[in-house]
Chains A and B, each alone.
Chain A
């Protein structure tokens, strides 16, 4: 039987196209499971998972926790704001203390890029990266791909996907670019020049600064949040100006006269990157993304746990 080529999910970078297919196929079956009258399976009943969040999160954390509960795993939660990290304990010490309580898997979010990669070198448990700074957020990219496949039917070969907004600070953007390219999709990034990293075209993507042209080209628009909390300098004159040049509203989508899918990883800055009428329109699959997130995370947890 196929299994994943890796023991940890640190980033999409380490996954092979076959790994992605296996995760997608397994997630489809878990989606069926979470729509049953009884939504729980006993697979991970002898597995203990620690959710270690050094950075705030609502969706990802709830989604992981729910996925773990649906798989019957035992879970413990840890958030940095209420812990000994405040007293100066190092990352490795904190995690080793958690592991001493016989934990099998760690789901970690950390503000520093590479934090889960560092841990993977020093500990035995399986590690799932739930976002490391501005680097990667692999489960988000997997659930985005799953949601696009579900809506378009079939795989992503040759599909045109635009990622619009703050590419520079977005871990969702990098993971999505890698995941989409591995599945054979065409990717265009769109945003102000200051928010698009230099040399990003080396990843095989196109860059545009015209949101209308990009929307006319793409089958799917994945709109990203402006990450004000990560911006230490001004990258654009004002939010109002950003919204005028790069914001998407329902009229723009309707004027395209074609089927277009709008996605957003959340939380939405309503009225900045996406207007309320666009976010709530029939083009939007934002809430499907949230539902699929649980199924995809169940698949990742199940496949990683099954390797022991």
Chain B
């Protein structure tokens, strides 16, 4: 097994700041915008973006997590995945939703999340922000609006995101080749 470091501090902080600036460019004061992190691994990255956006704008931006396990398209076809907590205490009807995940690969998780989200209302617009975009791994016609870093990977490779919030000593993102 080979590991290649693709992103770490301080470039990660710079990337997060850049994504925040891009989001501010499109959402200005976030008056009608909400942020939703995707379980299980997108929530830590989403929290960082949310925290930095609140610091820069000085506004309170609604923030929640969404678990799309019950909307997956591989139920009864693959191993069961344990459901995680969903916490959305606001209505997304007519809001501009920013979905945040750590890695975008096949796009299937995002598809389930789009489905899951409709249980909370009909948003005016939905955008997707990801830290890593595995550009040639897509199974579905889904793309991110804000991308931290694009990487060109094979199906057999894996992207491993290690953030301090998950109990790792350093923030590091690896490309793993078997």
> How would residues 19 to 48 of chain A score, 1 for a CB under 8 Å from any chain B CB and 0 otherwise?
000100110111011001111111110110
Contact B76 A36 (CB under 8 A): no
The number of inter-chain residue pairs (CB within 8 angstroms) is: 62
Q: B81 contacts the other chain (Cβ, under 8 Å)?
A: yes
Considering the complex, give the chain A residue whose CB is closest to the CB of B69: A29
One of A142-150, A151-159, A299-307 at the interface:
A299-307
> How would residues 52 to 90 of chain B score, 1 for a CB under 8 Å from any chain A CB and 0 otherwise?
000000000000000101111001100111111110000
Contact B75 A38 (CB under 8 A): no
Given contacts A38-B118, A42-B70, A42-B115, contact A1 B83 (CB under 8 A): no
Given contacts A33-B70, A43-B70, contact A306 B121 (CB under 8 A): no
Instruction: Name the prevailing secondary structure of the A interface residues.
Output: loop
Tell me the count of chain A residues lying within 8 A, CB to CB, of chain B. 29
Q: B120 contacts the other chain (Cβ, under 8 Å)?
A: yes
Contact of B120 among A37, A42, A44, A302 (CB under 8 A): A37
> How would residues 276 to 308 of chain A score, 1 for a CB under 8 Å from any chain B CB and 0 otherwise?
000000000000000000000000001101111
> For residue B11, which residues in chain A have a CB less than 8 angstroms away from its CB?
none
Considering the complex, give the chain B residue whose CB is closest to the CB of A29: B83
Contact of B80 among A28, A46, A306 (CB under 8 A): A306
Contact A29 B85 (CB under 8 A): yes
Contact of B82 among A2, A33, A36, A38 (CB under 8 A): A2
Q: How far is the CA of A41 from the CA of B112 in the complex (A)?
A: 11
> For residue B84, which residues in chain A have a CB less than 8 angstroms away from its CB?
29
Q: How far is the CA of A32 from the CA of B120 in the complex (A)?
A: 12
> How would residues 80 to 115 of chain B score, 1 for a CB under 8 Å from any chain A CB and 0 otherwise?
111111100001000000000000000000000001
Q: A3 contacts the other chain (Cβ, under 8 Å)?
A: yes
Q: How far is the CA of A26 from the CA of B82 in the complex (A)?
A: 7
Contact of B67 among A22, A29, A71, A303 (CB under 8 A): A29
> For residue A38, which residues in chain B have a CB less than 8 angstroms away from its CB?
118-120
> For residue A43, which residues in chain B have a CB less than 8 angstroms away from its CB?
70-72, 75
Considering the complex, give the chain B residue whose CB is closest to the CB of A104: B76
> For residue B119, which residues in chain A have a CB less than 8 angstroms away from its CB?
33, 36-41
> How many B residues are at the interface, by size bracket?
20 to 34
> For residue A29, which residues in chain B have a CB less than 8 angstroms away from its CB?
67, 69-70, 83-86
Shortest beta-carbon distance from A109 to chain B in Å: 26
Q: How far is the CA of A307 from the CA of B120 in the complex (A)?
A: 29
> For residue B121, which residues in chain A have a CB less than 8 angstroms away from its CB?
37
> For residue A42, which residues in chain B have a CB less than 8 angstroms away from its CB?
70-71, 115
> For residue B80, which residues in chain A have a CB less than 8 angstroms away from its CB?
1-3, 303, 306-307
User: Which chain A residues numbered 24 to 78 have a C-beta less than 8 Å away from chain B?
Assistant: 25-26, 28-30, 32-33, 36-44, 46-47, 71
Shortest beta-carbon distance from A50 to chain B in Å: 18
Considering the complex, give the chain A residue whose CB is closest to the CB of B82: A1
Shortest beta-carbon distance from B105 to chain A in Å: 19
Shortest beta-carbon distance from A47 to chain B in Å: 8
Given contacts A305-B76, A306-B75, contact A36 B85 (CB under 8 A): no
Q: How far is the CA of A306 from the CA of B121 in the complex (A)?
A: 28
Contact B70 A1 (CB under 8 A): no
Contact A32 B71 (CB under 8 A): no
Shortest beta-carbon distance from B102 to chain A in Å: 19
Counting from the closest, the 5 A-B pairs by CB-CB distance are A41-B70, A38-B119, A29-B83, A306-B80, A43-B70
* Additional A-B contacts beyond A33-B70, A36-B120 (16; CB < 8 A): A1-B80, A2-B80, A3-B80, A22-B82, A25-B82, A25-B83, A29-B67, A29-B86, A30-B83, A32-B86, A37-B121, A38-B120, A41-B116, A306-B76, A306-B80, A307-B80
**Can you give 12 A-B contacts (C-beta < 8 A)?**
A1-B82, A3-B79, A3-B80, A25-B82, A30-B83, A36-B120, A38-B120, A41-B119, A42-B115, A44-B75, A71-B70, A303-B80
